[in-house]
Structures are given as C-alpha cells and as structure tokens.
Amino acid sequence: MERKRNKIVVIGSVNTDMIIKSARLPKPGETILGGVFSIVQGGKGANQAVAAAKAGGNTTFIARVGDDGFGETAINSYQLAGICTDFIIKDKTFPTGVALINVSEQGENSISVASGANAMLSVEDITACRDSIRSAGILLMQLETPIDTIHFAAGLAKSNNVTVILNPAPAQKLPDNLLAQVDILTPNETETEILTGILPDTEENIKKACDLLREKGIKTIIITLGAKGVYHSEIGFVKGFRVDAIDTTAAGDVFNGAFAVALSQGKGHLESIVFANAAAALSVQKLGAQSSIPSISEIDKFIMEWEN
C-alpha cells in the first residue's frame, strides 16, 4: 500500500444548517413572521474538509449522511470542492444531520441540532475505510461524531505513523487514553479550560495548560485565541491578522483545515500557522460557514499583500 504523505483524511460531521434571520428571537410558544430563510452546508467535519480541499489539500472525507436530498446535496458540494467522497456512507435509517438556527438582528442565536446519521458513524465504518487512513499523512478529526469511533480512528492512524490532529470541539472532557493517541491538539480557549480546568487568560496559565496536556502524551498543543492569533506549545505566541470580522462562523474549522494542508506539504509548524491564520482571517470577512472558506489563490494573495 502506497503512503501519500500529502493526503489528508478528515473524519467528522455533516449538517444542513437551516437559518431564519428575524428581528428578534421568539419567546417560548411565540410565532414571529417576516424572517429571512436560508439553507447552507455545515458540520465541523465538512467545514474542515472543504477548507482543506480549497486550500490545495489532497482531501478525503469519511462521514455518514442520510439517504436523502440533504445528503445528496452535501456530497455534490464536496465533490465540486475537490474532495474524495468515496467513503461517505448513506445511512438508510437515519437522516442527514440538521441544525435549526434562529438569528436575531442583534446577532443572538438559538440553535437546535439533530445529529441524525452523524451519531451513527461507527467503528465498523472506520474499519471499512482503514486502508484510506493507513495511506494518509494526516488524520484530522473533531467531536461531532461518537467518541468511540474517534478513539478507534486515532489508534489506527497512530499505529500506522499517520499524524493525528484533533480539534476538540464542541468542548467536552476527553479520556486520557484518547488524548495519548493525539499528535497535535487544537483547542480554543473554552475547550482548553474544559480539558484542563485552567482558564488560559494569561501566558502563565496557557503554559500550565499546555504542560498538563503534554503530560497526557500529546506532542503539540496549538491554542487558538481568536483575533489574538494562536499559542504553540513549542513556538509560543503567533500573531493573527487584524481584519474587520463580519462573521466568525467556522473560522476555527478553516484554521484546522488550512493548517493540515500546509503541514501535509512539508511546511514547518510556524509557516503552517501563518498560512492557517491567513485562511481564517479571510473567512471571517464573509458571511456563512462553507461559503466563506477561501481558495488557495486567495490565501496566497492575502499573505503576499500583507507582507508587502
């Protein structure tokens, strides 16, 4: 089996986001008329896979969708982005994951998520895809699919010398034996506090949190700090790009996908972080999740103009 070091396998969630923007959020039992409705592609796994593909990565996506219109639309959009969709399973019983989102004019939101087929992604599914994972250079995962499945996939990758990147989102506590399988952990501030019990509000606390996580066997921790950039457990602080943010949805997903691409292409961690920061900075200047994800040409142009 040929190993392709530049190949990225993403395992994660697929959601169809149905959004209503209205003057305010409805109270319990209340109906509000006059909202604006839109349907967009979402799910952290899908966001990261699209971000990787658009940033120039050789990307394969492993996921479950329903055998329905939402699933078909999602798969078609991934193919247009250049993602290998051979291992996206159509579930005959459970529907594609859906998020129902109410957004007010003030930016407040109320979200209900039906995980659907995402919750059915199993160890058996990963076993069926094992050769694809073994032949990769990087495995990128998040936490919107079952933990047992994520744990199994991490172990499979680790035993085949595939670099495991885990974005521990949505925030939750994780077992030490899973964390020990992770090469690079990319939490934000909230996720760092959930995992360590330490609020990363000062450099001293950030270092303490990193030390605690490294004691669990993780080689590298990259804490994303929003507009402040990131903190790398060996490099230290790396500044982000100051831009006027319109919508920060999926910025962390874009960072993870772009970082995996740069790393897969042989760039060092510092250069990979700069590339990922640029991708995230571009994404927050547009509305939406996958609709805001920049292309490789846009990222390269942004970095070049910033440096000049």
Q: Is residue 196 part of a domain?
A: yes
Catalytic annotation on 201? no
Give CA–CA dist 191/186, Å, rounded.
9
Report the CATH number at residue 71: 3.40.1190.20
pLDDT averaged over the chain?
Answer: 94
Q: Is residue 220 part of a domain?
A: yes
- Percent of the chain at pLDDT above 70? 99
Domain count, the chain: 1
In the three-class reduction of DSSP (H, G, I as helix; E, B as strand; rest coil), residue 47 is classed as helix
Give CA–CA dist 122/280, Å, rounded.
31
Dig out the tokens for 177 from the structure: 């034996």
Give CA–CA dist 30/237, Å, rounded.
47
Does the pTM of the predicted model rise above 0.85?
Answer: yes
Q: Is residue 1 part of a domain?
A: no
For 20, 32, 42, 53, 168, the CA distances from 110, given in Å and listed in that order, are 10, 14, 16, 30, 22
- Per DSSP bridges, beta strands 15-22 and 220-224 are unpaired
- Domain extent, residue 63, equals 7-27+36-307
Per-residue b/e over 190-209, b at no fewer than 16 CB within 10 Å?
ebbbbbbebebeeeeebeeb
Q: Is residue 2 part of a domain?
A: no
- What is the mean pLDDT of the segment spanning 187-210? 96
**Whether 159 contacts 140, CB under 8 Å:** no
Give CA–CA dist 118/121, Å, rounded.
6
Give the pLDDT confidence of 41-75 residue by residue, as tens digits.
Answer: 999 999 999 999 999 999 999 999 999 999 999 99
pLDDT of amino acid 206: 97
Among the listed residues 17, 125, 183, 253, the single catalytic one is 253
pLDDT at residue 143 tops 70: yes
Q: What band does 111 get if pLDDT is binned at 50, 70 and 90?
A: confident
